[in-house]
């Protein structure tokens, strides 16, 4: 009977969470201030970099990149899509959104991929982190904003933090999945030839798992874009602010324009990241490799010519 009464008693989870947040605010304020200043500096610098060239120049550059990795169809879409964003007078807000997404996705990937590698190598760590990832994916994104605003106050930083937490799980899960799916016989062959675990990881497992890992990176970017509007609710600049303002004012037209700009950015980022994970892209030599090969050929040709000239001089004498 006593056990039943204890089971029916209210568990003060809310009090525990509030006490934990209060303790973090009292003892780790210096850390939160450092994180806020660092992320603010990174965001401001990236926004300045993205808005430094004119929209036309930026669209041409990104169109050339799209042509290089996806073909002329994607290049035309990229150029026209970016020009449409400029025509809608949403360029600055689009670049602010792109900066938020890129920084948040980069942090999520930098944390997620090493965690996925460790999870693939340790079943204990995998079993521990799996419920944490489930919690991060299923908890409503609005809940992340409460402690984020408490720690970092209103602005772009709490939006970034919430975005990182929300978008990180696919990077961990798909990295672990990709490494575990590598053929064991290939790994055993590397071990038989005396390859170190580090060399097996970087020369065998990661290259073979690259398509799956890049699929995780793609999902991270898409989830980060889905947080744009929520981040706009807490003061993050960008297209999310335009969408949220249109919703509160019931303005269908401006809301559709801002949403269309988000869709254009999403399609461009999706095609770019998916291209880096495809086998077709991996087989094509990169522009850097082409230039290096060309330079090496020219250098070898010059060396051969100089050697021939040197060999002819004694004969002439």
- Over the stretch 103-152, which tens digit does the pLDDT of each residue have? 999 999 999 999 999 998 888 988 999 998 888 888 877 777 777 888 88
Give the span between the Cα atoms of 203 and 197, in whole angstroms: 10
Is there a contact between 222 and 166 (Cβ–Cβ < 8 Å)?
A: no
Number of domains in the chain: 1
Selected residue with higher pLDDT from 277 and 19:
19
pLDDT, tens digit, for every residue of 37-52?
888 899 889 989 988 9
Domain assignment present for 305: no
Q: Is residue 38, in this structure, part of any structural domain at all?
A: yes
**pLDDT, greater one: 97 or 236:** 97
Percent of the chain residues topping a pLDDT of 90: 14
In a domain, 10, yes or no: no
What does the DSSP assignment read for the chain?
-HHHHHHHSPP-HHHHHHHHHHHHHHH-HHHHHHHHHHHHHHHHHHHHHHHSS-HHHHHHHHHHHHHHHH-HHHHHHHHHHHHHHHHTT-HHHHHHHHHHHHHHHHHHHHHHHHHHHHHHH-HHHHHHHHHHHHHHHHS-HHHHHHHHHHHH-SSHHHHHHHHHHHHSHHHHHHHHHHHHTS-HHHHHHHHHTT--HHHHIIIIIHHHHHHHHHHHHHHHHHHHHHTHHHHHTTT--SHHHHHHHHHHTT-HHHHHHHHHHHHHHHHHHHHHHHHHTSHHHHHSPPHHHHHHHHHHHHHHHHHHHHHHHHHHHHHH-
Q: Which of 265, 294, 293, 285 is nearest to 91 (CA)?
A: 265
Question: Does residue 309 lie in a domain region?
Answer: no
CATH of the domain at 65: 1.10.3720.10
- Threshold 0.85, pTM exceeds: no
Q: Say what the pLDDT of residue 298 is.
A: 42
Q: Is residue 51 part of a domain?
A: yes
Residue 15, in any domain of the structure: no
> Is 297 within a domain?
no
Q: What is the mean pLDDT of residues 14-19?
A: 80
Confidence category of residue 316, pLDDT binned at 50, 70, 90? very low
Domain that holds residue 126: 27-278
With respect to residue 152, please indicate whether it lies within any of the assigned structural domains.
yes
Model pLDDT for residues 84-110, shown as the tens digit of each residue: 999 888 889 999 989 999 999 999 999
């Amino acid at each position: 009977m006593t056990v039943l009464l204890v089971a029916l008693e209210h568990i003060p989870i809310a009090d525990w969470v509030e006490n934990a947040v209060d303790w973090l605010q009292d003892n780790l304020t210096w850390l939160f201030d450092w994180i806020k200043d660092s992320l603010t500096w990174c965001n401001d610098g990236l926004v300045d970099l993205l808005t430094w060239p004119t929209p036309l120049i930026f669209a041409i550059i990104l169109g050339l990149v799209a042509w290089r990795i996806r073909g002329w169809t994607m290049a035309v879409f990229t150029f026209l899509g970016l020009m449409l964003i400029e025509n809608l007078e949403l360029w600055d807000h689009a670049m602010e959104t792109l900066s938020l997404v890129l920084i948040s996705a980069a942090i999520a990937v930098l944390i997620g991929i090493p965690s996925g590698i460790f999870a693939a190598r340790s079943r204990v760590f995998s079993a521990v982190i799996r419920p944490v990832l489930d919690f991060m994916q299923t908890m409503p994104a609005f809940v992340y904003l409460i402690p984020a605003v408490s720690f970092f106050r209103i602005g772009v930083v709490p939006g970034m933090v919430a975005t990182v937490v929300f978008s990180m799980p696919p990077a961990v899960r798909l990295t672990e999945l990709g490494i575990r799916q590598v053929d064991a016989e290939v790994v055993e062959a590397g071990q038989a030839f005396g390859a170190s675990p580090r060399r097996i990881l970087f020369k065998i497992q990661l290259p073979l798992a690259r398509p799956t890992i890049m699929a995780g990176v793609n999902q991270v970017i898409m989830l980060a874009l889905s947080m744009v509007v929520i981040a706009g609710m807490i003061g993050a600049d960008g297209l999310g602010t335009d969408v949220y303002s249109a919703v509160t004012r019931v303005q269908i037209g401006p809301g559709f324009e801002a949403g269309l700009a988000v869709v254009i950015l999403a399609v461009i980022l999706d095609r770019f990241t998916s291209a880096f994970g495809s086998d077709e892209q991996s087989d094509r030599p990169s522009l850097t490799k082409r230039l290096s090969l060309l330079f090496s050929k020219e250098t070898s040709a010059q060396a051969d010519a100089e050697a021939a000239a040197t060999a002819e001089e004694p004969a002439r004498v």
